[in-house]
Every structure is written in C-alpha cells, then in structure tokens.
Amino acid sequence: MSNFLEKLGSEDWLLADGATGTNLFDMGLKSGDAPELWNIKYPARISNLYRGAVDAGSDIFLTNSFGGNALRLKLHNLGTKAFELSKISAEIARNVADRCQRSVFVAGSVGPTGEIMEPIGDLSHKIAVEVFLEQAQGLKDGGADVLWLETISAPEEFVAAAEAFSHVDLPWIGTMSFDTAGHTMMGTSPSSMVNLISSMSNKPIGFGANCGTGASDLLRTIQDFSKSAPGKNLIAKGNAGIPRYVDGHILYDGTPDLMAKYAIMARDSGAKIIGGCCGTKPEHLASMRNALEANPLMPAPTLEQIELEIGPFSSSMKPVTERKNQKRRRRRV
C-alpha cells in the first residue's frame, strides 16, 4: 500500500492546496500562455508556488500540469511535450515534498483534453485514453504519489482517463466541475457521477467536486455526494468566494475567514480532502488549516446556514436534461 493511502486511511481529513492558475497569474503568467511551459522556463517560480501551499499547511498539493496533455499543448505548438512537461512538473513537486519535515504528498494534476468526445464531438475514446496515458506516465515518472483528474464535465472523459490510469501503477482521485445549476456543463449530477464510478473497473480512491462557481454551490454539491456515496473519500476544492467580472478579469473576493468557514462546512458535510480552487492563496490555506484543527466535527450545516455564512447560491438545482438535448439537437443540424 502506498504511503498516501495509509495517510488517507489514518486521518479524519487532509488539507489539499489552493489555486494553480490564478496564483501563476499573480506571478506574471499572461493569459494565453501555457502555464506548463513555466516548468522548464521558470522552475523556481513553480517551486515557490508549491512551497506556498506546503508552508501554509497543505498535506497534498497538485502539480502544474493541468493543461499538460498533448491536445491542449498542441494549441501552444507544444503538442509533443506532454510527457516531458508533466514529468518535470512532478519532479519539481517531488523535490519540494521530500524537503518537507512533515509527510506531504504530490498529486499529478490532469485536466480535461479541451475537446468534446464522441458521440457529441470528434474525440474518440481510443485517442483520449492515449492522451491521458502519456501525461499520467510523465507524472508517475516524475514522482507523483497519486494522479488527480480535475475539472471534468463529460462522463466519457472521466471514463477514458480511468482507463488510461489503469495502465499506470498509481492510485487516482477524480473531481468534476459542477458549474451549471448543480450539474456539470454536460449535465452530470453528483449522483450520476457516483453511479458512473460504481460501474468502473479502475475506481478512484476519492472523488468529488472542484472549481464550479462559488464556495456555497460547491458545499451543496458535497452534501449531494454525501447522500449518494456515504463513507467514501469525498473531495471538496471550491473557489475562494464567488467569481465576479471586474474590468474584463475574474476576481475572487473570498477572505481567509470565509475560506476557513467553508473548510469546516466542507468537512462537516462529509469531505475528507479539503482544498481550494481558483482564487485560493496560501493565506486562505493557512486559515483553513487552523480552523480545521481548532474545530471538532459537527453535524452538516443546513443550506440556509451555508447561504448565511458563505454567500448566496448561484442557481437553483434545476435538472439540465433539457439543455443537454438542445445541445445535441444543435450539433446535428
């Protein structure tokens, strides 16, 4: 059994990390640049990004490889670099983790391919598996403890990644982004994700939600997961507050105090690994760690309490079947 599985089994909760993208933008990344190129261009900055999370108390942090698959890198003329850039992202992370006094774990981040899979889109299952496998192998060779699939919308893509990961000898975690009225953009709900996972042969050791819209919506999603998958290792990685558009930029104005409340509510709602997504900085993580350590486990908050403490929900939980059908119809004409 890997050390990470032992750690996961022995703790009540683990703190994950915060944002990668929004923190890199703060370090000077320009929109349109490939963040993964910074692994070779500015390795010291990537090391600083990782150390920021570790020093703030994260038990596990994600590599700078979210868009490091061949299909996304192709858009930056880096399509042949997926293995190399993923491997280096994990090597830099391994180095940071190994220098830490505490046990800290490296999660190899794998994001969506950026393409739409068959039958709605053109990306075949076979190609998707190959693309995910190349990246996963790079992350493993670079020293990742666990693979971490995130921000997925399409169940087909989740399945393709799981198959790819079965060829790499590492445990994996998978989260989707429930950004459309409590569902993913492609119409998947937490309970349908749980059903999907129960039908898969290479199951993730943990699953849940990341990103989406605000932290309130994410907590509601975690409560949904708790109902359909009690006792499982649930992952909550919510954005720091609610995204707001200001002068063409997306700003997250969640304070460290707000994220501390979110962290406690996520754990009380059933999450085992709690972190932040967009807008979450080291100061948020430190505040989350303190709050989790200081507050004993309580019953799950009500939706009213979430709304009161964290902020309003961005939407009601309307099923989006109709929206999905519309999309299908549009594509066929």
CA dihedral for 152, 153, 156, 159, sign (positive or negative): positive
**How wide is the angle at C-alpha 120 spanned by C-alphas 115 and 125, nearest 5°?**
60
- The answer to the question of residue 263 lying near Zn ion (CB under 5 A) is no
Q: Determine the interface stretch with Zn ion among 67-75, 257-265, 275-283, 306-314 (rule: CB under 5 A).
A: 275-283
The SS3 assignment for 211 reads: strand
User: Smallest gap, in angstroms, from Cβ of residue 239 to Zn ion?
Assistant: 5
Q: Measured between alpha carbons, how far is residue 311 from residues 213, 235, 300, 318 in Å?
A: 12, 21, 17, 19
- The answer to the question of residue 90 lying near Zn ion (CB under 5 A) is no
User: Smallest gap, in angstroms, from Cβ of residue 211 to Zn ion?
Assistant: 3
- The answer to the question of residue 211 lying near Zn ion (CB under 5 A) is yes
Pairing status of strand 249-252 against strand 243-246: antiparallel
Q: Determine the interface stretch with Zn ion among 80-88, 178-186, 203-211, 242-250 (rule: CB under 5 A).
A: 203-211
User: In terms of CB distance, is 19 or 154 closer to Zn ion?
Assistant: 19
**Member of 219, 278, 285, 286 binding Zn ion (CB under 5 A):** 278
User: Smallest gap, in angstroms, from Cβ of residue 102 to Zn ion?
Assistant: 26
Of 166, 188, 191, the residue nearest 177 (C-alpha): 188
- Both tokens of 84, joined, read 């190399």
User: In terms of CB distance, is 62 or 97 closer to Zn ion?
Assistant: 62
Rg (alpha carbons) of the chain, rounded to whole number? 18
- The answer to the question of residue 161 lying near Zn ion (CB under 5 A) is no
**Member of 277, 288, 291, 320 binding Zn ion (CB under 5 A):** 277
Question: Which residues are at the interface with Zn ion (CB under 5 A)?
Answer: 211, 277-278
